Amino acid sequence: RDYYASRGLGDVYKRQMLMKTMVIGCGRWGTFIAWYLNYVKQEVILYGRKDSKNMHQLLKNRKNEYLELPLNITLSNELGEVDRVNAIFISVNAQGLEKLCQELNQFNLSGKIVVLCMKGMEASTGRRLSEIVEAVLGRDVHICVWLGPGHVQEYVRGIPNCMVIDSEDYKIKEQLIKELSSDLIRFYYGEDLIGNEIGAATKNVIGIAAGMLDGLGYTALKGALISRGTREVSRLIEVMGGKAVSAYGLCHLGDYEATVFSKYSHNRIYGEDYVLGKEASKLAEGVETVKAVYLLAKKHNIEMPICETVYSILYENAEPKKKLFGLFERSLKKEF
């Protein structure tokens, strides 16, 4: 309690420790998830691979560039620790999720909760992340997603935000929301797993496009970008079996401030650096996600001009300024 009070974070809701949790992934967001689970009085193990530079840094002084971990969070290089917990929170590179699930398959995960705290899609197939988990781990685990806006830098300064937990299992979703809600994060009940996953992943692509506009000096055009971006993403959600209106919720449109405008957004920064010819220094999930979106748009024969433009710039050597301005020159009879 004194630890949080000294950082101006206010009181944490009073509760009992009902979950033993393990966080897999010790990057920016994974480390924050461990920090937050401890904040809401859960028992936490944070896992990182033995060759992880991030884990080496945490083992050395329990700090990274974003936060300091309290002493009661256990740090481990042993994936077998999953046997000791009933809830697993995963925050890794989306393209490495299938491999991780295959490694987890050697353990008995029956009845455990698996929470995906990550945003992306499988680049080679277009699969949603929950589909990957179900395909590898089966239906004996309870799959949930934790999505929505927010940056670690703001949360650790005590700036609150709202996020979403979604699952096809209502009871598990309800349990997580009750256990994890606090004065720092208010969780909403997701009602469209497909739409929320696709919306959360594709907003990173829109973030890259926004960064490109920033780098070219045309920030004012981001208003048109986000209004039309939401519309084209709603088409993809609908054709994939979700609710088109989910594109206008917290997981997509509601996350634009943190992705399209924020100085902390890795995807926006990536887009800006790309057009300025700078080397990227942070992981931007939208770089791989746009491959999946491009694949799905072609498969389902739907127009997604913004995502297709980002794809052509990143993977077909299209000239950024010409391609981006081409979006604003489309026929008035056509979608943006």
Residue 241: burial class (beta carbons within 10 Å; 0-12, 13-18, 19+): exposed
Query: What CA–CA distance (Å, rounded) separates 267 from 119?
Result: 12
Give first-to-last CA distance, the chain, whole Å. Answer: 51
- Catalytic position from the list 112, 203, 291, 323: 203
CA-to-CA distance for 305 and 299, rounded, in angstroms? 15
Q: Under 8 Å CB-to-CB from 5, ≥6 apart: which residues?
A: 11
In contact, 31 and 58? CB cutoff 8 Å: yes
d(CA 256, CA 236): 18
DSSP result, 260-306: II-TT-HHHHHHHHHHHTPPP-S--THHHHHHHHHHHHHHHT---HH
* Residue 11, SS3 per DSSP: coil
Indicate the residue type of 95: Q
Distances (CA, A) of 243 to 192, 236, 248, 249, 323: 7, 10, 10, 11, 30
Buried b (16+ CB within 10 A) or exposed e, 253-288: bbbbebbbebebbbbbbbbbbbbeeeeeeeebbbbb
C-alpha distances (whole Å) from 173 to each of 12, 30, 114, 158 are 21, 20, 11, 25
Amino acid of residue 291: K
Contact 182, 14 (CB under 8 A): no
Q: Is 173 a catalytic residue?
A: no
Cα atoms found within 13 Å of the Cα of residue 199, Cβ hemisphere only: 36
Do 303 and 222 meet the contact criterion of CB atoms below 8 Å apart? Answer: no
Give the residue numbers marked as catalytic: 203
